[in-house]
Structure 1
């Protein structure tokens, strides 16, 4: 083989690999976040805006390092995690069956629809005083708030799922003498999965909002309580640590749901 041919083959074999679309988007997102943090640090360092209002990324990291070795702060995180988990699971266990059955049975839907529609558009913050009076300032009231905030997106998504069922497929199943239960189990339920996951993702965000709002309103522990306490003492960096904990938790949880949703996206009816 000639030397020139070997060189040309080597060039072909060592052709640079083209990055994928996902890799490109990840790089762009990473650069965007780093740029934002650098600008934020510079704005704080040169006091373009009073650091008391926005702190700085380095100060927040230092505050986080101090807080995360404090058992009391982990207790706040544990309280918030417990309230969110219990309230959200309760919303799933009650909201999914009600939503699916309401979408499947028109009579049941007619009974609950006025209440669901009215409460769905009602700001749950307006109910906080009543909830606090009824359940106190302890953990139970926060669980109720999380339940109410997460419940309605889940119910509405389940109802939406049942309204998108392929009626031709249902008619075909009935023509083969399939029972209503068989149709419900083999056609209706699988079709609801993508919509339910979307509702669960929305419910996660609402539940995290409920935790912070509920604990800021009336509480003796939790991330929201610590945010309020830090704000009252002008500890801006500690406030941003709490915000970061909530934000990172939300990103991780919605990311997990997003992966599951992507896995079942093919089940969504056209």
Structure 2
């Protein structure tokens, strides 16, 4: 076999090995989930733990079938989706420019850094009473909570991205008389994309937490409100339906971000 043929066969073997490894990990994940559900069903069936506390997968599926046939449940989901979407879009629209500019401009970073650091570590739940007083128990307060929870991971990821820029590359660009705007557009922005996507993924998780907590604290509609109502009436299966809906939504959204992040992973500086 010639040297050229050998080098061409190696990538093919590596690719097939990666595909096999990926398939095996998928099967392991699927098997673990199935075993978990079977164990859960058996624990509930034999009442090793009070079924009132954990329900069972079969009863949760039955409750989900009933709930999804009820238009009122879809209204709750629609309210939560609207609050989450608007709050998260605002967090990205405001957080990304602020984070990038803070990482690019030292003076601006020095101005906002104390406030960002302080508010980032402050539990947003502690601010809920103030937010409810200011914006009421309607949609607006939940949008504000989602915004606050998602805003800071996005800002700090953008700041982190700007701090990882290759200074030698910037110096080289300046030596070729590139303007600050050209450096920002061609070097800084592409380098921030992978970090921004990571911040957005973290913000998604925080935003989902915010929407549930906000609606459970004070609301008249939404998935969090329905969870509270089901818990107060000891409808454990309906509670778990809400938990599953939130979990599946989070997995789907983070999966989409993960695919986009993988597409731009080659842009991340070493």
State the match for 2:12 in structure 1. Answer: none
State the match for 1:4 in structure 2. Answer: none
Question: Residues 195-234 of structure 1: matches in 2 within 5 Å?
Answer: 195-234=195-234
For 1:126-171, what per-residue CA distance to the aligned partner results, in whole angstroms no more than 9, with x for missing partners?
0000000000000000000000000000000000000000000000
Give the distance between the partners of 1:35 and 1:262, measured in 2 at CA. Answer: 30
Q: What displacement does 1:20 show?
A: 1.1
Give the unaligned 5+ runs of structure 2: 1-15
State the match for 1:248 in structure 2. Answer: 248
Q: What displacement does 1:248 show?
A: 0.1
Runs of 4+ in 1 over 3 A off after TM superposition: none
State the match for 2:48 in structure 1. Answer: 48
Q: What displacement does 1:222 show?
A: 0.2
Does 2:169 correspond to 1:169? yes
Give the distance between the partners of 1:26 and 1:70, measured in 2 at CA. Answer: 34
For 1:14-49, what per-residue CA distance to the aligned partner results, in whole angstroms no more than 9, with x for missing partners?
xxx976111101000000000000000000000000
State the match for 1:73 in structure 2. Answer: 73
How many pairs are equivalent? 254
Give the distance between the partners of 2:256 and 2:211, measured in 1 at CA. Answer: 20
Q: What displacement does 1:115 show?
A: 0.2
State the match for 1:188 in structure 2. Answer: 188
Give the distance between the partners of 1:88 and 1:180, measured in 2 at CA. Answer: 30
State the match for 1:10 in structure 2. Answer: none
Give the distance between the partners of 2:50 and 2:252, measured in 1 at CA. Answer: 31
State the match for 2:110 in structure 1. Answer: 110
3-state SS, counterpart of residue 20 of structure 1 = helix
For 1:75-131, what per-residue CA distance to the aligned partner results, in whole angstroms no more than 9, with x for missing partners?
000000000000000000000000000000000000000000000000000000000
Give the distance between the partners of 1:122 and 1:20, measured in 2 at CA. Answer: 45
Question: Residues 25-64 of structure 1: matches in 2 within 5 Å?
Answer: 25-64=25-64
State the match for 1:151 in structure 2. Answer: 151
Computed over aligned residues only, the root mean square deviation of the Cα atoms, in angstroms, reads: 0.8
State the match for 1:13 in structure 2. Answer: none
Give the unaligned 5+ runs of structure 1: 1-16
Question: Residues 82-97 of structure 1: matches in 2 within 5 Å?
Answer: 82-97=82-97
Give the distance between the partners of 1:69 and 1:60, measured in 2 at CA. Answer: 14
Give the distance between the partners of 2:118 and 2:165, measured in 1 at CA. Answer: 25
Q: What displacement does 1:68 show?
A: 0.1
For 1:205-264, what per-residue CA distance to the aligned partner results, in whole angstroms no more than 9, with x for missing partners?
000000000000000000000000000000000000000000000000000000000110
State the match for 2:140 in structure 1. Answer: 140
Give the distance between the partners of 2:48 and 2:112, measured in 1 at CA. Answer: 54
* Structure having the higher Rg: 1
